[in-house]
Structure 1
Amino acid sequence: MEDLIRRMTPVAAPPEQQAQVVALSKALAGMIHPPRRRAPKCQLVGPKGETIPLPESVFYVLERVAEIMARGDSITVVPVGRELTTQQAADLLNVSRQYLVRLLDEGLMPFRKTGKHRKLRIEDVLTFKKKRDKGRRAGLRELSQMTQEFGGYDSELK
């Protein structure tokens, strides 16, 4: 599992851990009490019983990660400003590396070359993904609307 995280592969809770993740998410969310909205002073307990203070910023990241995984979604943690290889970017976009290279050659995403290798900024990849997903949703809405206008699928199923 640790190797997957280091390679920026999206990680989801295995089915046998899903209930624990949901419980953790609820517990973390319940620790924040309005109107103060500050994280409580938390500690991690290590495998040998040692305690490690948990900074407030890490608490909020952990709370968000648990919330996302509790929904059954996968998550990837990537440092802002990080440069990705074409394979890492392709994995993040869930496309083949060859397809990603074609997108780069068509000028659809900025990159820089270091020798023979292309490097992409994580922000640029995420911006592309957001625009692509927005376009996909718009296309799906249009297709759904056309289906409704033409009577949908009900007449075929009867």
Structure 2
Amino acid sequence: MNTTVVTGLPSEAEATLAKESGRQLSLYLSSKEDAQLIRVIDQAGEHEAVQIPTAAYRLLIDILAQMAQGNSVSLIPVHAELTTQEAADMLNVSRPYLVKLLDAGDIPFHKVGTHRRVRYQDLVQYKNRNYTDRLKALEELSAQAQELNMGY
């Protein structure tokens, strides 16, 4: 899988640095432009201007914001294919339970040899559908509790 993973949680010093650098970068974000021009300076003082897409600049600010909150960050391309273990980890379920979901047709998959692969997009769609279904059930239970004057 082509992912970039920052393993482990950021240290307190990294979180503080991420907070400050994210704040500084956000001051220079120009949403009117398709690209942002940044200057990179190396340890020797050499510098070069680099133009990056505005979407990537925003993503960098979002990554820094997550690190500032003490969160670990992973980047997963939308078209990535996940192993069953990676998909199970993303859903926070066991791999055997995920395989049952796949075999039941709840999440599309395909096989590479004998191994199942799940597209990241399909996993996100399942996760969103599951969240919506849970929210709907919670609203129905809440409405029933109100009708029965259960004090909720």
TM range (shorter): 0.7 to 0.9
Matched ranges for 1:70-109 at <5 A:
70-109=68-107
Q: Aligned pair in 2 of structure 1 residues 33, 129: CA closer, same or farther (>3 Å)?
A: same
| Aligned positions of 1:53-68 closer than 5 A | 53-57=49-53, 58-68=56-66
Instruction: Determine the C-alpha separation between the residues in 1 that align with 2:135 and 2:72.
Output: 20
Matched residue SS, 1:79: coil
Equivalence for 1:120? 118
Structure 1: runs of 5 or more not aligned: 153-158
Give the Å deviation of 1:16: 4.5
Equivalence for 1:151: 151
Quote the offset at 1:80 in angstroms.
2.1
CA drift of 1:67 comes to: 3.1
Q: What letter is aligned with 2:26?
A: A
Counterpart Cα distance in 2 of 1:10 and 1:129: 23
Partners of 1:106 and 1:21 lie apart in 2 by 43
Match of 1:43 in 2: 39
| TM-fit CA distance, 1:127 | 0.8
Distance 1:52 1:15 in 2: 30
Tell me the CA shift for residue 85 of structure 1.
0.6
The residue aligned with 1:17 is 14
| 1:15 CA displacement | 4.2
Q: Is the 8 A contact 1:39 1:60 kept in 2?
A: no
Measured in 1, the distance between the counterparts of 2:125 and 2:84 equals 16
Aligned residue pairs total: 146
Residue 52 of structure 1: how far off its partner (Å): 5.7
Alpha-carbon shift at residue 102 of structure 1 (Å): 0.7
RMSD: 3.1
The one-letter amino acid paired with 1:116 is T
Aligned residue in 1 for 2:24: 27
Structure 2 residue ranges without an equivalent (≥5): none
> Structure 1 segments of 4 or more deviating over 6 A?
none
| TM-superposed deviation, 1:105 | 0.8
| Secondary structure of the structure 2 residue equivalent to 1:23 | helix
| 3-state SS, counterpart of residue 119 of structure 1 | strand
Indicate conservation of the 8 Å contact 2:11/2:70, yes or no: no
